[in-house]
Structure formats: C-alpha cells, structure tokens
Amino acid sequence: MRVSKEDLHQLIQTKIERAGLTEEHADIVADVLAFADARGIHSHGAVRVEYYSERIAKGGITNRPDFRFEQTGPTSGIFHGDNGSGHVAAKRAMDEAIRIAGKNGVAVVGVKNMSHSGALAYFVEQAASCDFVALSVCQSDPMVVPFGGAEDYFGTNPIAFAAPTDDGRMLTFDMATTVQAWGKVLHARSRGESIPPTWAVDADGAPTTDPAKVNALLPIAGPKGYGLMMMVDVLSGILLGLPFGKHVSSMYADLSKGRDLGQLHIVINPAFFTDIEAFKANMSEVLDEVTAVAPAPGVDRVYYPGERGQLREKAYAEQGIEIVDDIYEYLISDAIHFDNYDGKNKFAE
C-alpha cells in the first residue's frame, strides 16, 4: 500500500491520540515516524505505532509528562523526560541544545528518563537545519553479544550525526553499533523476508538468515563496534546516572512501566570555530568531491551519507510511501492495539 507522507502522518497522529497522548505530542510522534518512513527507515516508522499505542494505553508512556529542563552549566543541561514520549522529549531537548549552542558555541544536553525516541537522524537534522553540527547517541535494551562473548549485554546503541551545506543538502548518518538494527530484523519479519547471515546469531551462536530465529545481534566490525556501543552506553546511561548495559529496561517486558532511558545531544555552532559560510561551502565541496569519486566495479556511483534516504524521500513524494498492508489496515482500523507486545521478550516474541 502506498500513501502520501501527509496522510501517513495523520493516520499515525490519530492512532497515537486515541491511545492517550495529547494532540501536540501525538503530532510530534507522527512527524518523527513519518520522517523515518519517508527516508526508507521503515524499521522506525509506522511499524512501531501499535507498540507505542499499547504502551501509551497501558501507562508505560506518561500521557501528560512533567517535562523540565535543568541547565547545569553555560553549555550543559539535563532534560527530565518523566517517561513521556521519547520523540517529544528528544525534540524538546534538542531545542534547548540549539538555543545554548547559538549563544555559547557548544551544547551538551542529556535526556533523562525517556521512552523510545525513534530515528535519531530526525533530531540531528533538527540542528543541522539551523546551521549547526550535531551528534546524538542513545541507549537501548540488551540484545547484542559483546565481541568474543556468548551472551547479550549491550543494546544496539545508535549514533547519529548531521552537518549543513550551503545548497540545502545535509550530511546525515544514523547507525546502530550493530551490523544492523533490530528494527531492520523486525521489518524483515513483518515482510516475511530473510536477513543476511552477518546480522545476527541464533540460540547456538551460529549465523542465521531467519529473522524468527534471531537470538542476539552482532556488533559492527567486531571489537570496533563493541567499543562504540560501550561508549554510547557510557554517554547516554552512566553519565546521566541511569541504568546501563544489561540493566537497561526491556522494551516489552512490562508496558505499564516507564523505561527510564537516556539520550545525549551534542551540538556545535560552527560560527564559533570558523567562518560559517566557508564551513557550509566546504561541506558542499566535500559532498561533491566524494560523489565524484570513481565507483568500484559493479557500483553505479558513490553516495554521501544520507543521500540515498534523501533521494528516496523525493521519490516517495511523487509515488507515495510504501507501507505493509497489515500495518496500513491497523492504522485505518478502530483498534488502538491488539495486546501484541506486553510481556514479550527482547525480540517481541
């Protein structure tokens, strides 16, 4: 099924509002999820709506949270999320980081006690659209084996980065510190598709191509990914005085409880380090030069990070966003949720 981004936004917002969020918060959640689907990041788009709706309806996401920003220094602060919508908390915290960086050049803002916030690319692009450079990291529940280990300990612990240019393009990347995010496995499962054998292992620790048999994910580039996921856990968990590693709350075990997750935004104002126009011009130049690099055999051309998603968004604007039929039927139904997630394990089983 194909729908416009605007229609998808409205369907998601309506469902999230019916689950219990305010119109304002539901609108932000829908904006983040529709952004993800429009970029082809379907693992963080409409596929998540039923889960969020069930958690909201059961009290695990605070409907009317007592959000509070605490500025702890000239360039630092904590956004207290009260286990409200992670999408809203992350966006509001980025607003504060942008404000501080605009005045003082750099901002480091932690988001404390939040729920799942979706695609991090949305938030770093929020800063890049203001001509700032941004890095965002967040923790997630354990489902990854540390390099050399046989049991999971860390989450997929993603990292996102964005920077502006002088011609409207953005350098953007949003990556899990695993070979692939669990959401991608979930998306493959929803479509009945197999996965590459490099993504995950089964209960015996052997590579698997069956998303239904995944027992743990693998860190990207072995020990390098392992180090990155630990770094993310320190910055978004231990640094904020929150649970870390294997102590991070389960996404599905009890949907009536808040998750108390953490996220960290780092925003840099290039104008405090160099001429802003020269910075953006150089960003455009590097993107031009990278995409002009001769492609390897069998490759059409080199793309800069984030370019494929931006091209996909343009194509979807003309053709509509492709949504799995079952998900679309849920979005247009009268049901808020179907009790599909509460009490499940780390893989929603």
Question: Is 25 a known active-site residue?
Answer: no
Give the tokens for residue 270: 């290039």
Helix/strand/coil percent split, the chain, to 5: 40, 15, 40
Whole-number CA gyration radius for the chain: 20
Which residues lie below 8 Å from residue 338, measured CB to CB, with a gap of 6+? 50, 330
269-272: long-range contacts at Cβ-Cβ below 8 A with a sequence spacing of 24 or more?
269/101, 269/102, 269/105, 269/106, 269/131, 269/132, 270/131, 270/132, 270/133, 271/105, 271/131, 272/105, 272/106
**Catalytic residue of the set 44, 116, 187, 337:** 116
Closest CA to 191 of 44, 3, 324: 324
**Known catalytic residues?**
116
